[in-house]
Amino acid sequence: MIHPSKIIKELGIAPLKKLGQNFQVDVHAVENVAAFIDPAARVLEIGPGLGAWTEVFLQRGHEMVLVEKDRTLARRLREVYATNTKVQVIEGDFLEQQIDAEPFAACNAAIGNLPFYVTADLLLKIICDAQQIHQALFGIQYEVAERLAARGGSSLAIALACQGEISIAGKIGRNSFFPVPNVDAAIIRFERRANIARPHLRTLLKAAFWGKRKPLRSALAKNPFFAEDAAATGWPARLAAIPERLQPLMAQRADDLTAAEFCELYDFL
Ligand code: SAM
């Protein structure tokens, strides 16, 4: 593997902090867990950068769709994979992609060493909006991974736990990156639970955590998100019918609820 510093130098650029550019120098940690992804899966990669993870998954035979925000890196990826019919390179911000349209609609797995500055938004988009994605492997900040694996306390942890199983599959020490970040990373593994679609979960989480300091009863009644999605969900009207068994949750704050309690509330709504 050519050292990222050499490729970056040849491209005449410097790693951009604002895009979270820490490139992986050795990929053993990824190789160790790559078999988790179904061999037949069409794989979406977020932030391929210089292609460190891309190569691991291409060697395993996957078709891949790569989304890279950095113009120079996207151009290089297009050149490197110009004759590879299994690879499609999209230049752009993943957060702005229409995930239910092609080429994303046909992807059923997602991977990526995620830029730390925007990890939560990228994960929420994959987990809540891209219901076609059944499996994922992501490199994220180690501490964040530990909090997510605890299955509660933040809207992201609850989103993951309500939609599937998440676990820490490996560690990527900070020295495996160029430039070296000031934290270690973990590879998290996500598997969507079969037959569970909660397509409006994000609306419920935004509403509940919008009024984080408020009891749920008040946050759900006053938040702006329920009204925006009312045509699709019908939730504002359902609030008046919350059954007795869920009433104790209404007196609590969002960050005190477990993922299981959120799922129960969602399923009623
Ligand atoms: N996958 C490469 C690796 O492991 O060496 C690069 C990982 S680096 C931590 C994050 C990559 O995500 C960079 O290439 C960066 O340009 C790209 N990126 C940052 N924000 C992005 C976004 N919103 N959408 C798509 N790519 C993004």
- Hey, what amino acid is at 14? A
**Ligand 1: does its nearest atom lie under 6 Å from the Cβ of 45?**
no
pLDDT digits (tens), the chain, 269 positions: 899 999 999 999 999 999 999 999 999 999 999 999 999 999 999 999 999 999 999 999 999 999 999 999 999 999 999 999 999 999 999 999 999 999 999 999 999 999 999 999 999 999 989 989 999 999 999 999 999 988 777 889 999 998 999 999 999 999 999 999 999 999 999 999 877 778 899 999 999 999 778 999 999 999 999 999 999 999 999 999 999 999 999 999 998 998 899 999 999 99
User: What's the CA gap between 266 and 198, in Å, rounded?
Assistant: 8
Q: Which residue has the tokens 């998100």?
A: 225
Q: What pLDDT does 151 receive?
A: 74
| Pocket lining: 66 vs ligand 1, CB cutoff 6 Å | no
Closest Cα to atom 22 of ligand 1: 93
Whether the full predicted model's pTM is greater than 0.90, yes or no, is yes
At residue 155, the pLDDT reads 87
> 51 CB under 6 A from ligand 1?
no
To the question of whether residue 68 is assigned a binding role by annotation, the answer is: yes
- Is any ligand 1 atom within 6 A of the Cβ of residue 25? no
- Residues 192 and 194: their CA atoms lie apart, in Å, by 6
ipTM over 0.95: yes
Residue 194: predicted pLDDT: 78
Please state, in angstroms and rounded to a whole number, the distance separating the CA atoms of residues 76 and 146: 34
Residue 32 to residue 21: CA distance in whole angstroms: 23
Is 191 annotated as ligand-binding? no
Residue 181 CA to its chain's centroid (Å) = 20
> 73: which 2 tokens?
């890196």
Q: How far, in Å, is the centroid of ligand 1 from the Cα of 69?
A: 7
Q: Is 158 in the pocket of ligand 1 (CB under 6 A)?
A: no
Distance, in Å, from the CA atom of 61 to the CA atom of 91, rounded to the nearest integer, reads 23
Can you say how many angstroms the Cα of residue 52 is from the centroid of all Cα atoms in its chain? 19
Atom of ligand 1 nearest to the CA of 16: 16
Looking at residue 218, its pLDDT comes to 95
| Cβ–ligand 1 contact at 46 (below 6 Å) | yes
Look up tokens 């979960």; give the residue: 201
Residue 175 marked as a ligand binder = no
89 Cβ inside 6 Å of ligand 1: no
Select from 68, 98, 126 the residue to mutate for testing ligand 1; criterion: most ligand atoms less than 8 Å from CB: 68
